[in-house]
């Protein structure tokens, strides 16, 4: 089962989604993420980041044929509804109407609306029953009541099945601190944070607290039931605020309480009767207040610990990043300096035995240049030259004498040469590596970009495939339905064609009329609603304006002016490059009278017409084999197939027919003359054939029994004796 949950990332929505998922249903979520949290759901599902009032929601309904819609998305704060009633209306009324309309349009089997006890207002008739008067005192309560009325009206107008659950005060894991229903969440959060619990009034005000798990279970049960209408969803038990605090004290010893004056407008007592939902749904709440609060508290403790760990790790990571950011620019210089100090100590303390000072300095310059490039190699050269000067001076040399010492200049030159060559070489390599890394990064970005596009295209492809397979007016469904037209008997094609057009166009009335040879008359050959509507069995072309229009243009006729006694749409069917029949639809939903459905009708009738043209061409090709030689009498097997098609059309649509039986002439010559005589008295839609008893039969299409006597009398006047064999209506 495919279930759409609006507001599915919210407190209640996530529990409802989890309940359906555990039952192996496919879960889809629409959420604008204003209050929802994706971390509330960890299982596989499909989500859409949209507001419920967004027109783009229709694309989702088109692509996926939902079985159940659970509408939980709403603005839930009573205080905010006073501050901004327009926003409250957009979310709670406009959004609901959008979901309700789309659910009805796309054949959702069950629509479940989350309403609220706020619809009752200040009502002292406790416990509150569904039949009690609703006088909401807040814009939030008004919007919820209006939502219920919309569901009721949709049920009256369209027979659309919906359930409206009036929640009492819901609590449980994942609840935030918004709204009156969040009092449990507020208390537990304050307890864990060491804050005082704020109680307005004396704490003896009562509420009907219901655990969120019981809410999810009731919604799941309702999706598989036949109930509809308005139901309270509650425990039918009063619980004071002081009792809630007392239970929480048992779980958390140190609890400070602060009493404040009662808030204006607060309801003192509230409890909803759940007798109706218990009787009709066979449901009852499982969690009492003690067990529900214990589970909520345990979850909150774990959640807070996880948040604290996450915050601590994030702080440590951030500090480490800051310290690293400060040290990083000076890291190479510090390492260079440490290495130089070690070398200086070795040189000046005369601890070198294998290498002399020049060798170790040259090696030091090479290492620094190889590791860090030209900057550090030049710095190493400078430090090495300084160390060389200090070493010479420590041996008793004068600084001026060094300016004339060729060995000193050779050593300095060696240091510079090594530093410049190694530094340049390494720097060049480093630059090339950086260029390559930059190219790699660019390619990675391009890869990620193309990967994102690929994923998006795959999702669109999958969605289009879903449309093709599931959407009522998709070409995928057209293709699957039109397979029924894969017949070679025209009468069978007529019967199936009206069914195909009816299913695709969602029209109550579909008819097919065929022209006579000179296109002056049309005869009715198939209709989907024959018994409930009156149809002309034949029409004269010169008396029918829209048929003349259709013959003149050769295209689809659309009754845009809503002319009386005229179908909504009519399309020609061609055979041998000539209009041979007309497909008409009537009693179409007004919302389907559009250019889109006009094009859909054109495609559908072309496919049906193609099937009929193929069947007629086949009949033309084998016509000689269908008749007894030199007669107009169909062979027994051919006549029986046509008769079976007529029987099927009568069973499906109530299309009447009559079979008359006559006597066979003595010779084939007499049979040919006899059949010619019969043909002159019949219409284009009637047939002469051999019955299973080898007698000659006449099949009269679309004729009532009260007209049979008139036909028999006509035959009698021409010397033809016949009797009724089959055709009760």
Q: Which residues are catalytic?
A: 140
Of 232, 183, 77, 83, the C-alpha closest to 140 is 77
Q: What is the dihedral of CA 436, 438, 440, 441, to 10 degrees?
A: 170
**How many whole angstroms separate alpha carbon 678 and alpha carbon 725?**
17
**How many whole angstroms separate alpha carbon 181 and alpha carbon 169?**
5
Report the length, in residues, of the chain. 729
Question: CA triplet 610, 616, 617: central angle to 5 degrees?
Answer: 85
Conformational region of residue 7, where left means phi above 0, alpha means psi within -120 to 50, and beta covers everything else: left
For 488, 617, 671, 687, the CA distances from 627, given in Å and listed in that order, are 16, 16, 12, 11
**Dihedral pair phi/psi, residue 288, rounded to 5°:** -85, 175
Radius of gyration, alpha carbons of the chain? 44
**How many whole angstroms separate alpha carbon 275 and alpha carbon 297?**
29
Of 475, 729, 502, 704, the C-alpha closest to 603 is 475
DSSP letters spanning 94-128: IHHHHHHHHHHHTT-SEEEEEEEGGGSBS--SSSB
Conformational region of residue 236, where left means phi above 0, alpha means psi within -120 to 50, and beta covers everything else: left
Of 180, 235, 214, the C-alpha closest to 12 is 214
Burial grade of 648 (CB within 10 A; 0-12, 13-18, 19 or more): middle
- Six-digit token pair at 356? 């002399």
**Is residue 370 helix, strand or coil?**
helix
Report the DSSP pairing between strands 197-200 and 257-260: parallel
**Dihedral pair phi/psi, residue 165, rounded to 5°:** -100, 120
Of 537, 543, 545, the C-alpha closest to 683 is 537
Q: Which residues contact 47 (CB under 8 A, 6 or more apart)?
A: 8, 9, 28, 29, 30, 31, 38
């Amino acid at each position: 089962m495919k279930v759409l949950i609006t507001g599915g990332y919210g407190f209640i929505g996530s529990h409802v989604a989890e309940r359906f998922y555990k039952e192996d249903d496919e879960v889809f979520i629409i959420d604008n993420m204003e209050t929802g949290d994706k971390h509330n759901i960890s299982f596989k599902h499909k989500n859409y980041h949209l507001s419920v009032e967004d027109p783009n929601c229709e694309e989702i309904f088109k692509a996926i044929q939902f079985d159940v819609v659970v509408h939980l998305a709403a603005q839930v704060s009573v205080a905010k509804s006073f501050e901004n009633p327009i926003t409250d209306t957009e979310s709670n009324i406009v959004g609901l109407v959008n979901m309700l309309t789309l659910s009805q349009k796309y054949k959702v089997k069950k629509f479940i609306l989350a309403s609220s006890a706020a619809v009752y207002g200040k009502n002292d008739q406790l416990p509150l029953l569904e039949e009690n008067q609703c006088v909401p005192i807040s814009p939030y309560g008004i919007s919820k009541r209006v939502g219920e009325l919309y569901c009721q009206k949709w049920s009256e107008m369209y027979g659309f099945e919906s359930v409206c659950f009036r929640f009492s005060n819901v609590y449980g894991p994942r609840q935030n601190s918004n709204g009156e229903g969040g009092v449990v969440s507020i208390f537990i959060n304050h307890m864990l944070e060491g804050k005082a619990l704020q109680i307005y009034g004396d704490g003896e005000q009562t509420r009907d607290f219901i655990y969120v798990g019981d809410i999810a279970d009731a919604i799941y049960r309702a999706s598989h039931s036949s109930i509809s209408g308005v139901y309270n969803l509650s425990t039918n038990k009063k619980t004071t605020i002081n009792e809630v605090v007392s239970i929480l004290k048992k779980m958390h010893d140190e609890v400070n309480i602060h009493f404040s004056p009662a808030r204006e407008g607060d309801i003192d007592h509230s409890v909803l009767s759940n007798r109706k939902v218990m009787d009709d749904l066979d449901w009852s709440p499982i969690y009492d207040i003690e067990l529900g609060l214990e589970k909520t508290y345990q979850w909150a403790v774990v959640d807070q610990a996880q948040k604290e760990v996450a915050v601590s790790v994030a702080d440590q990571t951030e500090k480490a990043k800051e310290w690293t950011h400060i040290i990083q620019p000076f890291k190479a210089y510090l390492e260079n300096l440490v290495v130089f100090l070690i070398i200086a100590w070795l040189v000046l303390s005369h601890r070198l035995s294998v290498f002399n000072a020049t060798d170790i300095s040259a090696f030091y310059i090479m290492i620094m240049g190889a590791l860090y490039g030209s900057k550090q190699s030049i710095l190493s050269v400078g430090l090495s030259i300084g160390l060389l000067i200090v070493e010479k001076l420590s041996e008793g040399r004068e600084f001026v004498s060094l300016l004339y010492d060729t060995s000193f200049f050779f050593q300095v030159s060696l240091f510079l040469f090594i530093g410049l060559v190694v530094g340049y070489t390494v720097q060049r390599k480093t630059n090339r590596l950086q260029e390559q890394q930059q190219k790699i990064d660019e390619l990675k970005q391009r890869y990620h970009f193309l990967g994102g596009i690929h994923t998006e295209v795959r999702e669109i492809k999958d969605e289009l495939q879903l449309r093709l397979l599931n959407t009522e007016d998709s070409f995928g469904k057209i293709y699957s339905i039109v397979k029924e037209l894969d017949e070679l008997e025209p009468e069978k094609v007529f019967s199936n064609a009206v069914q195909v057009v009816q299913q695709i166009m969602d029209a109550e009335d579909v008819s097919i009329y065929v022209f006579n040879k000179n296109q002056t008359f049309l005869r009715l050959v198939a209709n989907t609603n024959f018994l409930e509507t009156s149809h002309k069995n034949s029409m004269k072309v010169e008396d029918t304006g829209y048929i003349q229009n259709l013959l003149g243009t050769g295209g689809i006729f659309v009754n845009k002016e809503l002319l009386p006694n005229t179908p909504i749409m009519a399309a020609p069917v061609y055979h041998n490059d000539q209009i041979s029949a007309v497909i008409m639809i009537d009693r179409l939903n007004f919302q389907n009278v559009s250019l889109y459905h006009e094009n859909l009708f054109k495609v559908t009738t072309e496919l049906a017409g193609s099937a009929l043209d193929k069947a007629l061409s086949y009949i033309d090709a084998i016509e000689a084999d269908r008749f007894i030689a030199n007669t107009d009498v169909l062979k027994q097997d051919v006549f029986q197939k046509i008769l079976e098609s007529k029987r099927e059309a009568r069973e499906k649509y109530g299309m009447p027919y009559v079979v008359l039986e006559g006597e066979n002439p003595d010779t084939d010559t007499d049979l040919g003359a006899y059949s010619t005589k019969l043909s002159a008295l019949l219409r284009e839609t009637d047939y002469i054939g051999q019955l299973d008893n080898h007698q000659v039969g006449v099949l009269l299409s679309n004729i009532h029994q009260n007209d049979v006597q008139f036909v028999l009398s006509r035959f009698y006047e021409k010397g033809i004796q016949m009797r009724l064999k089959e055709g009760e209506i």
